[in-house]
């Protein structure tokens, strides 16, 4: 049996955006699937880019998540030019969802300080490399 071709980078990016917005909204794959008349497995396949998502289904996803459809395409220009979007890289981290949930729950001054510290540590790490 032939191996299926790898997911297209833009499909992976759009899937990562769906995942990010779904998690930020506190919606499970099961809940999103139910709202769209799909299984959670199909949502997983959309989120990984394994299955392409139709334009009509993208509109439905945006409606369920209370987003403009364009939000699911933010950063796609970077992917189209051969790069990998920051959101796709971030969402591939196992810790991404709990980190996002914790960051959103923090008071703004604390969240800003954590973001500032992360930026400082990243710059120091880059300088040391």
- Indicate the average pLDDT of the chain: 89
Cα separation, 36 vs 122, in Å, equals: 39
Which candidate, 89, 97, 16, places its Cα nearest to that of 50? 16
Q: Up-side HSE of residue 78: CA atoms within 13 Å toward CB? A: 13
Which candidate, 18, 1, 5, places its Cα nearest to that of 88? 18
User: How sure is the predictor about 26, in pLDDT bands with cuts at 50, 70 and 90?
Assistant: confident
Span 70-109, pLDDT tens digits: 999 988 888 877 777 777 778 778 888 888 888 888 999 9
pTM value surpassing 0.75: no
Cα separation, 61 vs 22, in Å, equals: 9
The structural domains of the chain, with segments of one domain joined by +, span: 1-92, 94-129
CATH architecture of 1-92: Orthogonal Bundle (1.10)
pLDDT at 6 over 90: no
Average pLDDT over residues 106-118: 94
User: How sure is the predictor about 33, in pLDDT bands with cuts at 50, 70 and 90?
Assistant: very high
| pLDDT on residue 45 | 94
DSSP secondary structure, 14-55, as one string: HHHHHHHHHHHTT--HHHHHHHHT--HHHHHHHHHTSS---H
Tell me, what DSSP letter sits at residue 106? S
């Amino acid at each position: 049996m032939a191996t299926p071709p790898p997911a297209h980078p833009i499909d992976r990016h759009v899937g990562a955006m769906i995942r990010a917005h779904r998690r930020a909204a506190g919606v499970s794959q099961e809940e999103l699937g139910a709202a769209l008349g799909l299984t959670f497995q199909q949502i997983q396949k959309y989120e990984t880019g394994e299955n392409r998502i139709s334009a009509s289904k993208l509109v439905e996803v945006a409606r369920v998540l209370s987003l403009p459809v364009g939000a699911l395409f933010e950063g796609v220009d970077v992917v189209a030019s051969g790069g990998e979007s920051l959101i796709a890289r971030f969402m591939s981290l196992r810790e991404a969802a709990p980190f996002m949930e914790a960051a959103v729950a923090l008071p703004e001054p604390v969240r800003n300080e954590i973001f500032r510290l992360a930026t400082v540590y990243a710059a120091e790490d880059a300088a040391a490399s």
